[in-house]
């Protein structure tokens, strides 16, 4: 987590994004995928640097959100499946549709996630909070007035849409399943640790999101309060 290491990672991600931008004139799917991945992680780290400057470390890039190198394996699998379909000549007829639909949805998901981060600011943490800080506030404005967990929704949309962009059939379903399960786990931790910070003072938190619905597209405005919990990713 030294400053040199963090700077090198930023440089590497910038290089990946630059390479993707330069290569867009050829087969745009894989380069655009690199751009989206690099942009996502650079934004996550930039958020940490701005609002959690005392906790700047490698995990701020969100390059290891799950243990056992699961995230790296998912990225490699996506690239391999793309080249598999490319090699056999399948899905080329729909290449433009994949690029347009996947690109728009993926950038939209990244935009929603980014809006959630920078709206909540220091109230948003990558690791679910176990203790309430004195500065911890319930965020109710902006994208948090639209749904209860815009950070979850944005990440999920970004994740699965990158596979639409690549035209990956198997990885699309794998990403959707794993992402959903990941957010179910995050939601379990949030319900146990974060919701009690505000329950009783915020009526909507008496109706917590369920394990089957970790995204929870309701805002607290719709369930009896005036906002939504934006304190955790």
Mean pLDDT score of the chain: 77
Phi first, then psi, for residue 232 (nearest 5°) are: -135, 160
Cα 187–Cα 192–Cα 195 angle in degrees, nearest 5? 80
DSSP-derived 3-state class of residue 232: strand
According to DSSP, the residues that pair with 53 across neighbouring strands are: none
E strand or H helix at 45: helix 29-51
The model carries a pTM of 0.80
Confidence of residue 156 (pLDDT cuts 50, 70, 90): very high
Q: Are 39 and 15 in contact (CB under 8 A)?
A: no
**Nearest Cα to Cα of residue 220 among 155, 153, 123, 146:** 146
* Chain segment 42-97, per-residue pLDDT in tens: 899 889 888 888 777 777 788 887 666 888 899 999 999 998 988 887 777 778 88
pLDDT at 17: 67
Q: Are 223 and 209 in contact (CB under 8 A)?
A: no
């Amino acid at each position: 987590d030294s400053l040199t290491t963090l700077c090198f990672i930023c440089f590497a991600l910038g290089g990946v994004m630059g390479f993707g931008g330069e290569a867009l004139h050829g087969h745009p799917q894989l380069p655009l995928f690199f751009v989206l991945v690099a942009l996502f992680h650079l934004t996550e780290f930039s958020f940490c640097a701005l609002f959690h400057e005392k906790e700047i470390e490698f995990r701020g890039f969100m390059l290891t959100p799950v243990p056992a190198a699961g995230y790296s394996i998912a990225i490699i699998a996506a690239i391999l499946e793309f080249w598999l379909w490319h090699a056999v000549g399948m899905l080329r007829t729909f290449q433009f549709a994949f690029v347009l639909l996947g690109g728009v949805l993926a950038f939209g998901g990244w935009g929603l996630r980014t809006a959630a981060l920078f709206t909540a600011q220091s109230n948003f943490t990558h690791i679910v909070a176990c203790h309430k800080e004195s500065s911890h506030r319930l965020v109710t404005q902006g994208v948090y007035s639209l749904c209860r967990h815009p950070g979850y929704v944005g990440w999920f949309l970004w994740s699965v849409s990158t596979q639409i962009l690549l035209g990956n059939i198997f990885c699309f379903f794998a990403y959707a399943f794993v992402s959903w399960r990941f957010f179910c786990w995050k939601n379990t931790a949030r319900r146990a640790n974060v919701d009690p910070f505000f329950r009783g003072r915020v009526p909507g938190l008496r109706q917590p999101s369920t394990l089957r619905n970790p995204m929870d597209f309701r805002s607290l405005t719709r369930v009896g309060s005036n906002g939504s919990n934006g304190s955790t990713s």
